[in-house]
Amino acid sequence: MNSRRKFLRTSGASAGGLLLSPILSQIKAQAAGNKLPPRFVFLVEGNGLEPPHVTPIGYKRPNVHVGKPKVPNMQGVTEMVDESLVGKELPESLHPIKAWQDRLTVVNGLSGRVAGGGHSNDFGALGAYNCGSGVGNSGMAAGETIDVALGKKLGGIFPHFGLGISDRAEHDVIYNCSAWGKGQPTPTICQPMTAYGALFGSVAGGNSKAEFNAKTNLLDFLRSDVKRLHGQVSGAERDKLQAHLKGYEDMSNRQSRLGDIEGTLRRIAPKVTDKFKSGIESDRLDAQFDLAAAALIGGLTHSITIASGVGNPYFSVKFSGLGIDIGKHSIGHGGSFKDMSPGQLKVKIHKFHFQLMADLMKKLEGVPEGDGTMLDNTVIVYLSDAAEAHHSRCGQWPFVLIPGKNTGLQGGRYLDFPHYMQDGHREIGNLYTTLLHAAGERREYFGVRDAMLKGAARGDGPLEALLA
């Protein structure tokens, strides 16, 4: 416990600021001898993730044709693979996180056919359900997504916070990745300065501070006005007003709590540099990772999602900051650029995302917590919204996880589940159930089960091979 206190003290956190900080709950849990709650970071990249790009060198995954209807050109194994990553050579995409190879777990073979497939599965990628998306169509939230479900369980000033980039630099906020529940999408903030204002506006200068104060005053007015009207209506209208009132009260409470911890926020707020206002997508994504690190270190949230070009119609990001003057949609359809093939371009882009992940992990590793660091109590999950391909079939959905050693999940493993419809096959919903178990919520299953899977090819509960 003293290590975290010392870090905060030497970072300039006053005793008064500490008493008001969200970190207090963690310190109290530690003092009582309780396990610290985990935190979760989801990095969702658009346009598909081919399994070979995250599969350790030397593993061969044969092509199979399975199912009715058939899922063509799918790779898979007939028996479960569960091996240590110690001594294994990682593919180039994962080179930035080699330093954490002993914590890294790669999961192949999970299906997510319930999500539908196509350019993007929108909410279905994190929801394990079909939201009606597909080629050229954006979907509707059919239920909560796993990142939000974890946020509800773990709490925080922001139970969940969504950051990201879109294919258009002018996009401020989009809604197609995370959801609180059916018909309740949560925002993905695509402008770093907008996100900065939401997280640190109470301690910022200029427009951010003014906007924070204006929002606080407006919420107070709206809450008072709704309360006045509440006694004048009945029935369905009264129910609607009650829902609005709760929403305003929640937001007003959040503003108040942010105001209470100004001292802490002032010390952890990242320095605003040119990349926060850049028109270059890689700069903006870099800035979003800075904000994610600060939000986690400050205890503002325990669940954060960073969405990189996720969903329809936002997925064709042109990574000009990496020297790639061609959009990801064109790359997905076989486009090359200069001397780089489509495969090489994809690897370069994946590698950039893992480099940002590595930078985040270094920051969390530098913050003492308990007998270790914040990274020890953090689970990082990387996936694509389009499963295994640009036009996915969702017969397999690769994941890369970096679970902290205190999170109840195994690191340093390579897991490959039997292919679709084979005995022992499992779905992305099983993985999300596993994450909930790690957070202390023992649901039987998260998401919608695939009705095509029968018998031993259909399993409830968590992935036992992933649990420590």
DSSP for 315-368, please give it: ---B-GGGT--SBHHHHHTT--BTTB-HHHHHHHHHHHHHHHHHHHHHHHHTSE
- How far is the first Cα of the chain from the last one, in angstroms, to the nearest whole number? 24
Alpha-carbon gap, residue 401 to 412, rounded angstroms? 10
CB 139 within 8 A of CB 297: no
More confident residue, 179 or 223: 179
Q: Where are the beta strands (DSSP E) in 138-210?
A: 161-165, 173-181, 184-189
Residue pLDDT, tens place only, 352-383: 999 999 999 999 999 999 889 999 999 999 99
**In sequence order, what DSSP letters do the residues of 65-93 get, joined into one string?**
EETTTTEEEEE-BSS-EEEE-TTPPPPGG
Instruction: Tell me what the mean pLDDT of segment 119-137 comes to.
Output: 87
Please, which pLDDT band fits residue 232 given cuts at 50, 70 and 90? low
Sign of CA dihedral 198, 200, 203, 208: negative
Tell me the C-alpha to C-alpha distance, in Å, between residue 145 and each of 41, 178, 237, 430.
13, 6, 29, 14
Tell me the C-alpha to C-alpha distance, in Å, between residue 260 and each of 301, 326, 447.
16, 46, 37
Tell me the C-alpha to C-alpha distance, in Å, between residue 68 and each of 127, 150, 315, 403, 451.
24, 34, 30, 36, 12
Residue 218, CA atoms < 13 Å, CB-side half-sphere:
7
Residue 450 clears pLDDT 50, i.e. is over it: yes
Tell me the C-alpha to C-alpha distance, in Å, between residue 387 and each of 133, 329, 357, 393.
14, 15, 19, 8
Alpha-carbon gap, residue 271 to 362, rounded angstroms? 18
Alpha-carbon gap, residue 388 to 108, rounded angstroms? 10
Tell me the C-alpha to C-alpha distance, in Å, between residue 401 and each of 25, 95, 397.
26, 14, 13
Alpha-carbon gap, residue 296 to 259, rounded angstroms? 18
More confident residue, 9 or 324: 324
Please, which pLDDT band fits residue 207 given cuts at 50, 70 and 90? low
Residue 222 clears pLDDT 50, i.e. is over it: no
Q: Find the Cα–Cα–Cα–Cα dihedral 389, 340, 168, 294, rounded to 10°.
A: 80
Residue pLDDT, tens place only, 12-25: 333 333 333 344 44
Residue pLDDT, tens place only, 7-66: 444 443 333 333 333 444 455 555 555 678 899 999 999 999 999 999 999 998 888 777
Question: What residues pair up with 413 in beta bridges, in sequence order?
Answer: 84, 105
**CA nearest 194: which of 288, 261, 303?**
288
Beta strand 39-45 pairing with 303-308: parallel
Instruction: Tell me what the mean pLDDT of segment 94-119 comes to.
Output: 96
Residue 124 CB contacts under 8 Å (≥ 6 apart), including other chains: 112, 114, 115, 116, 130, 131, 133, 139, 142
Length of the chain in terms of residues written: 468
Instruction: Tell me what the mean pLDDT of segment 312-330 comes to.
Output: 91
Residue 2 clears pLDDT 80, i.e. is over it: no
pLDDT at 110: 97
Please, which pLDDT band fits residue 214 given cuts at 50, 70 and 90? very low
Residue 87 CB contacts under 8 Å (≥ 6 apart), including other chains: none
Strand order in the sheet with 173-181: 81-84, 413-416, 105-108, 399-403, 378-384, 39-45, 303-308, 161-165, 184-189, 173-181
Residue 277 clears pLDDT 60, i.e. is over it: yes
Residue 223 clears pLDDT 70, i.e. is over it: no
User: Which two tokens mark 375?
Assistant: 């990274």
Q: Give, for 306, the enclosing helix (H) or strand (E).
A: strand 303-308
